[in-house]
Amino acid sequence: MPNETPVCEKKYLLNNGQYMPAVGLGTWQGGIPPTVAQSPSPRLTLPQPRPTRRRRRASHDVPPSRTPCAPATASSTRAQVYGVEKLVGQAVRESGVPREAVTVVTKFWGRWHHDPGRRVSIQTVPAVNQVEVHALCPSLKLVPFCQDKGIHVMGWGSLGGGDAPPMSLILTHEVFERLARARGCSVAVVHLSWAVQRGITVIPRSSSHSRIDNIRLITLTADEMSIMDAAQDTIGKHRSTDQLVKQVDGRKTIFGWTLQDFGWEDEYGNWLT
């Protein structure tokens, strides 16, 4: 039975006066295969997910005009390292949605950061903080902290971003499947609804029409929200970035930084976020 719930058109007011859609489209691993690119009508293709450290899902190819720029989801997230700038630009042009109505979120790789700018950045309150947020890494402390400071949270990894456990549990665990069955929706809708209901922007990646339909969100009850909040305890805490952890002198590090440096854990390994 098709989901008849209206498409989510919620927007959040940022501290800079701009608005951020509650639902955007992630573009990590986006691309156009050579056979498709040479066709009379090229299509923006987002491949099947595989275990990675970042981002979303998807399977089929769809016209660019139907992917990142549906009016209710006129928001696209990308990064310099993704290499999809031209695809996003093409999709925006062919969508028919005015460019000024599209929110494009991007970021630079670490080596492009300019150290002298740190003094200025310290004095500037961020408008958006993009962090990993999903049911197994809910950031129950970090999200309200940012919101109290007027900083909007954009969550990446809402649907796990991979087929391998433990992240695959986000879409397959009985706790989430039970909630979805009770509400007559997909597991993805449950996860995205939970995040948006917490005031978080979500950026799932997909080009499948059935999966894009997952932005028809529902309103979870207080009990359902509590079940989602407690999933990190009933199922277990997991971060996508855990696969990047390396032991150095007996300490967990990522790219040379300890988890304490990131503010993720205390010296005893307790999660702080």
Neighbours of 234 (CB within 10 A): 10
243-267 as b/e: b if 16+ CB within 10 A: eeeeeeeeebbbeeebbeeeebeee
For 160, residues 6+ apart whose C-beta sits below 8 A from its C-beta are 57, 134, 167, 168, 169, 170, 171, 240
- Which residues does residue 131 pair with via DSSP β-bridges, in sequence order? 155
Span 79-134, pLDDT tens digits: 454 567 777 788 788 888 888 888 888 777 666 666 666 666 667 888 999 999 99
Neighbours of 229 (CB within 10 A): 14
Residue 9: the pLDDT is 87
Residue 67: the pLDDT is 38
Rounded to whole angstroms, what are the CA distances from 158 to 95, 111, 112?
A: 26, 27, 27
Q: Walk along the chain (273 residues) in steps of 10 and give the mean pLDDT of each run.
A: 73 93 76 46 35 32 36 46 72 83 76 64 83 96 96 94 84 97 96 98 77 84 98 94 90 91 88 90
Put residue 234 in one of left, alpha, beta given phi > 0 → left and psi -120 to 50 → alpha: alpha
How buried is 28 (Cβ within 10 angstroms: 0-12 exposed, 13-18 middle, 19+ buried)? buried
| Domains of the chain, first to last | 11-238 (3.20.20.100), 239-273 (no CATH)
Residue 220: the pLDDT is 98
Residue 128: the pLDDT is 93
Which has the closest alpha carbon to 161: 205, 198, 117, 192?
A: 205
Residue 211: the pLDDT is 66
Residue 215: the pLDDT is 83
For 3, residues 6+ apart whose C-beta sits below 8 A from its C-beta are 185, 186, 189, 213, 216
Rounded to whole angstroms, what are the CA distances from 156 to 52, 118, 132?
A: 13, 25, 5
Q: Is the peptide bond before 166 cis (omega within 30 degrees of 0)?
A: yes
Which run of H or E residues covers position 12?
A: strand 11-13
In degrees rounded to 5, what are phi and psi of residue 145?
A: -60, -50
In single-letter form, the type of residue at position 196 comes to V
Residue 207: the pLDDT is 61
Which has the closest alpha carbon to 161: 244, 48, 74?
A: 48
Which has the closest alpha carbon to 200: 106, 101, 128, 105?
A: 128
Which has the closest alpha carbon to 228: 150, 128, 143, 147?
A: 143
Q: Report pTM.
A: 0.76
